[in-house]
Structure 1
Amino acid sequence: MLRGGPRRDRFAGVKADALCGLLAESDRLAVFAAVVLGARSPGEVAQATGLPGRTVVVALGRLEQGGLLSVTDGGLRAADHAFRDAVRAGAADGSPAPLDPDPGRDTVLRTFLSDGRITQLPAAHAKRRIILEHVAVTFEPGVRYPERAVDALLRVFHDDYATLRRSLIDEGLLTRDQGVYWRTGGPVEVE
């Protein structure tokens, strides 16, 4: 899950609200804090936090994916530059960056998201689909996720992760088979 090396290039310009969203879940916050305080391996993080190993690995993977952690010299390292870069980007910008390049979609996202979290799922199908597509991009295409990892990722967006998970499946954005999930729809970033 941790692939090594800083991913600063991909996460340049990450907004402060996205970083806060990564740390909004208590397990990830504890894992990140342990790394900041010197834990250099998943085992050390588990010992420092008292969290189960699997929870630690899932949290480390999400934090690394979000650009807050990297593996350097064989150990975990907090990417403190991510906060500095986010603050500088926000200060230079002065106005909030659009959540989506399409103004209509951006309006829907701003209406139903606050600080990266879903305030409520829209009743209108088209608006609901926009919110669900926004959530779906959290899942890497081609990666298979156990249910527990899916739930952890969805908790970032809403406390009712089970409804969110079912909605993603119903909309064809995620597929499930024998407790394993993978992304099957939604927009894909092309680099």
Structure 2
Amino acid sequence: METNPEILAFVKAMSSAERLRIVGVLARGRATQAQIAEQLHLPVRDVFNHLSFLVHVNAVTEMDGVYDLNEKAVEALARRQFEGTRPAFVSKQEKQEDVRKVLKNFLNADGTLKQIPPIGNKLLIILNFIVDAFAFDTDYTEKEVNTILRRFHVDTAALRRYLVDHKLMAREADGTKYWRVKADVV
């Protein structure tokens, strides 16, 4: 069994009652070492040691002596910690077969969606199919995006939101411009 040092450090950080209490204080808002020590009735030195470890595992951030809970990092670590086991290797052929099955089940003969799949792997397969209708290095207005998405389904707002949420497309904050995101090559 392979051990992930990041997960191991997270488990170690969250296995201490004092550190969990510190995380609880920081979940309510930012605080200094002294404020945390006072609220939890712990020695400042102990709080310093616990905070140092929490900063080390990226569960807490520190700026100018004020500590803040790094909620996104804690959530991501917790999610990875409790993920189910996954197969170590899935062949390209198996992946292609899964994609083919999902497309067959969710697409009509004309390429329109029978329905938008629930959130998960099936949705991602459908979104990857849809995003191919958009060119790279091209800016689209919301109206143009809707016109393209309408070829697939009437609920263009949901498809737009899913494409942006899954980082297949990006948009300006005001929604005036959309573009296809290039996948990171690892």
Q: TM-score, normalised by structure 1?
A: 0.43
Greater relative contact order, per chain length (Cα 8 Å cut-off, separation 6+):
1
Q: TM-score, normalised by structure 2?
A: 0.44
Higher Rg: 2
